[in-house]
Amino acid sequence: MGYAITDMAAGMRLSDLHAPVVVCSADGTVVNATAEALELLGRVHGSQASGGRVPRELWEHLEAAPTGEAVDWRPPGNERSVLGCTRYGFGDHYLLLMKEVSHKHAALSRRMHSQRLEATGRLVASVAHELRNAVASIVYSAELLDLGGAEMPPETLSDTLSEVVAASRQLQSSVNSLLGYARLGPSVNVPVSLRDVMTRAQGFLRSVYREGDRQLQVEIPVAADWVQGNTLIVEQIFVNLLLNAAEATSGPLLVRVQSDLAVPPGALPGTAPHVRVRVVDNGPGIPPRLRQSVFQPFFSTREQGTGLGLTIASEAAASLGGYLILEPPSEPGACFAVYLPRPQGEGERGP
């Protein structure tokens, strides 16, 4: 590739480092490089790595990042290899430390795929439940009308037709929520009952929360029941939080879900109260040194954890104009607080 390995000005040989290290000028021209760096660049970048310069695409990534911050770069035409590189100031030059991280990215891809499958399974179960109930109501009412509609009293006929209309609207709402969740249609922003959401969430997680080992207590008062958003997204937030709490410990566990009205921390003066839902568990808690990292993608304290549940829950809350925070511990365990906007219009309720 034309990269010369020469003596360093300080009297040491760069080649003695036995690591992928490159010294380059401010424009990416290579001044020194170890044999390991040459081998690594040649392997991941092939014949395109020539001319005595750091590959242009890699150098652009490095220039866009602050010095000292690692970047991951996938060479064009090589979908399997990923190169990790960090740039440090070195007098008038730069020192590049390199490492192949292809295996790490492959593992992350597998974990992401696993998380997507789990989320898809929960989504399918939720939609199937909603559609089945609405369709069953419509079919029952239609059969009732078919068998005795002509002989029904006007009041009974009117009630039956009202039930058909209500079930049809519920069916339409479920489909709209699904489209909004998948971003295939207009954004869905409707009143959502937390009681209904938690009832479905408990149904999905029945095998996880078994009485005796893991218990789940839900307290949703009338004044803090309704929020504004997409039913499926709200559901996703709490399923992820409840799964996270259950998987944080292997022993007996009590998880409490409580809602009230509160202004989000750090909100501007005059901000309207949100519905705050606190998910509190008596598990092992989160060590202080890790509290700043819990919402980062792929961060997990469990060996088999995907590290995406809290990230997804946080992003879902933000997409609804809300917040997900880890509250300071006041007792053993962890407390996550979800702040979601109240329905638009005072006293507004869902269908």
Instruction: Write 168-177 long-range contacts (CB < 8 A, 24+).
Output: 168/134, 168/138, 169/351, 170/130, 170/133, 170/134, 170/351, 171/130, 171/131, 171/134, 171/135, 171/138, 173/231, 173/351, 174/127, 174/130, 174/131, 174/134, 174/231, 175/131, 177/230, 177/231, 177/232
Q: What is the pLDDT of residue 118?
A: 65
Provide the 10 A C-beta neighbour count for residue 275: 24
For the chain, the C-alpha Rg in angstroms (whole number) is: 28
How far is the first Cα of the chain from the last one, in angstroms, to the nearest whole number? 69
Model pLDDT, residue 304: 47
- Cα distances from 282 to residues 186, 196, 256, 276, 286, in angstroms, run 40, 25, 9, 19, 11
Q: How many angstroms separate the CA atoms of 244 and 147, rounded?
A: 50
Task: Identify the pLDDT of residue 86.
Answer: 92
Domains in the chain, start-ordered, CATH in brackets? 14-100 (3.30.450), 110-340 (3.30.565.10)
Q: Are 196 and 235 within 8 A, CB to CB?
A: no
Print pLDDT tens along the chain (351 aa). 444 444 444 445 666 677 888 888 988 888 888 888 888 888 877 644 445 888 888 888 888 888 888 888 888 766 678 888 999 988 888 989 988 887 776 666 666 666 656 666 666 666 666 677 677 778 877 877 777 767 778 888 887 788 788 777 767 666 665 665 555 444 668 899 999 999 888 877 777 776 568 888 999 999 999 999 988 889 888 988 888 888 777 778 889 999 999 998 888 888 889 999 999 998 877 777 777 767 665 545 554 444 456 777 888 888 888 999 988 877 788 899 999 999 976 444 444
Q: What is the pLDDT of residue 117?
A: 61
Three-state DSSP class for residue 110: helix
- Give the relative orientation of helices 102-148 and 194-204 as an angle to the nearest 10 degrees: 110
Q: What is the pLDDT of residue 287?
A: 75
Q: Compute the distance between CA of residue 87 and CA of residue 6 in angstroms, rounded to an integer.
A: 20
Give the whole-angstrom CA distance, residue 248 versus residue 308: 14
Q: Against a cut of 0.85, is the pTM above it?
A: no
